[in-house]
Amino acid sequence: MKRSVSDVPWVMLLFFAFSRALSAQVAVIGETVYTMAGEPIRNGVVLLRSGKIESIGAADTVTIPSDYRVLRAKVVTPGLIDAHTTVGLSGILNQPHDQEQIDKGAPMQPELRAIDSYNSRDPLVEWVRNFGVTTLHTGHAPGALISGQTMIIKTYPNKLDAAIVIPAAMTTATLGQGATGDKAPGTKSKAIAMLRAELIKAQEHVKKLDKTEPDKRPARDLHLEALTRVLDGKQPLLVTVHRHHDILAVLRVAAEFKLRIVLDGVADAHLVLDEIKQSGFPVILHPTMLRASGEAENLSFETASKLKQAGIPFALQSGYEPYVPKTRVILFEAGLAAANGLAAIDALASITIDAARLLGISDRVGSIEPGKDADLALYDGDPFEYATHCTGVIISGAVVSTERH
């Protein structure tokens, strides 16, 4: 018996439509293609098939099949990666009902997961995507000693399960003024003491699980289970910290518990470059245009270039704003870094391949190479020029946008 389209469940229709979008065959021709896996290609062609990059090369070496859709741009880059943001949790409306980025109910809540609050349909997700941002490392904002677990997600599609890259990426912490308040922890030394105490509890929890007979094991504890993943290195501890002496305190805790740390913010990084370099930990640097006040009073527009010169792995971020528009755009942050000592190609790397490596997803995104996800951003000029428009965005092979923004 024949079935009409109306007989097919709408969920299946959506699945078929999404599958067709992913399997689209597209050729992108760019006057300059920054692959981030080698030298830029002048008059380059990128072939996309089944959601992946099929091949790339100069126009005279790549044959475009007749059935491929052709898009053109002045400049083509890998899809941009925001190395730390709260997009999807902090909504564009700045109203209580769309602000899920921080829970002040307790100073330490590592069991909270960004995936449980992420709103893939928030207009802010589309807004940053229209600048070429295709991947977000997003989660709870700084402001609690431990605020929760981050996630890595594509900015398309708006179906959560289809967009997820890593559902639980890092555990977020804040040390310094951002984690203190009228109640606990109150002071910086108290914050460190509380963090150490919780990590010791997690260690003891692991010992009990290892030594106790299966039928006598302690009850499940989401809080301690989350900290256990930090202790065993499965999830790095992303620590937002700015003052130089607080950075050193973080490094001491990391050494004591043998933690994998990602330093976040670090306005005073230029004062302790040697110590950060020796630790081997990467940095997600504060937004270039972060306001130089409070703990961040010592920040510098040139810190990105100094990290590069010191050989410290780093990426840039949009960060979090407590007011509208809630987030910056990493494209502009990288442009400002490029105007203040960081080479333009290194600035682009900080929001593409270097960000992908830091986040552990460089096997999928961050560069234009055969076999990787077909995530591209198309521009009508130099991406770091404010007058330039993002003229197209492709995510996992789906042409999300071809309009000027």
Q: Where are the domains of the chain?
A: 5-78+387-401, 80-365
pLDDT per residue over 98-130, tens digit each?
889 989 889 999 999 999 999 999 999 999 999
3-state secondary structure 371-399: CCECCEEEECCCCCCCCCCEEEEEECCEE
Q: What is the pLDDT of residue 16?
A: 46
pLDDT for res 1: 46
Q: Which tokens in the block code for residue 403?
A: 């309009």
CA atoms within 13 A on the CB side of 87: 32
Residue 5 is predicted with a pLDDT of 47
Residue 11 has pLDDT above 70, yes or no: no
- Residue 227 corresponds to which tokens in the numbers above? 């900290």
Mean pLDDT, the chain, rounded, equals 91
> Residue 17 above 60 pLDDT?
no
Looking at residue 362, its pLDDT comes to 98
Residue 404 CB: number of other CB atoms within 10 A? 10
Q: What is the pLDDT of residue 88?
A: 94
DSSP one-letter string for 248-306: HHHHHHHHHHT--EEEEE-TTGGGSHHHHHHHT--EEEPPTT----GGGTT--TTHHHH
Q: What is the pLDDT of residues 220-272, one digit of tens each?
A: 899 999 999 999 999 999 999 999 999 999 999 999 999 999 999 999 999 99
Confidence of residue 177 (pLDDT cuts 50, 70, 90): confident
CA distance 251 to 245: 10
> Which CATH architecture is the domain 80-365 placed in?
Alpha-Beta Barrel (3.20)
- Please list the residues that pair with 392 across neighbouring strands: 378
Per-residue pLDDT reduced to its tens digit, 343-381:
999 999 999 999 999 999 999 999 999 999 999 999 999
pLDDT at 23 over 60: no
Measured CA to CA, the distance from residue 45 to residue 63 in angstroms comes to 9
Proportion of the chain above pLDDT 90, given as a percent? 78
**b (16+ CB within 10 A) / e for 61-74:** ebebeeebeebebb
Report the pLDDT value the prediction gives residue 282, as an integer from 0 to 100.
Answer: 98
Mean pLDDT, to the nearest integer, of 133-148?
Answer: 95
| 3 state SS of 72 | strand
**Which CATH number fits the domain 5-78+387-401, given the four candidates 3.40.640.10, 1.20.1440.230, 2.30.40.10, 2.40.10.340?**
2.30.40.10
Any idea which residue has 């020029």 for tokens?
385
pLDDT at 311 over 90: yes
Q: What is the pLDDT of residues 53-84, one digit of tens each?
A: 999 999 999 999 999 999 999 999 999 999 99
**Exposed / middle / buried, residue 385 (Cβ in 10 Å: 0-12, 13-18, 19+):** exposed
Read out DSSP for 175-230? -SGGG--SSTT-SHHHHHHHHHHHHHHHHHHHHHHHHS-GGGPPPP-HHHHHHHHH
Q: Are strands 52-58 and 41-49 parallel, antiparallel or unpaired?
A: antiparallel
Report pLDDT for 285. Answer: 98
pLDDT at 324: 67
Work out the percent of the chain whose per-residue pLDDT is above 70: 92
Which pLDDT score is estimated for 405?
42
Q: Which two tokens stand for residue 380?
A: 């009508």
Is the pLDDT confidence value at 322 over 80?
no
> Beta 69-78 vs 26-33: how paired, if at all?
parallel
Query: In this predicted model, which residue has the larger pLDDT, 176 or 39?
Result: 39
Q: Mean per-residue pLDDT for 89-93?
A: 89
Q: Which residue has the tokens 């995104």?
A: 365
Least confident of 158-172, 182-196, 259-273: 182-196
Note the Cα 52 to chain centre separation in Å: 21
pLDDT band at 274 (very low <50, low <70, confident <90, very high): very high
DSSP SS3 for 58: strand
| pLDDT higher at 264 or 289 | 264
Whole-angstrom distance, CA of residue 246 vs CA of residue 71: 49
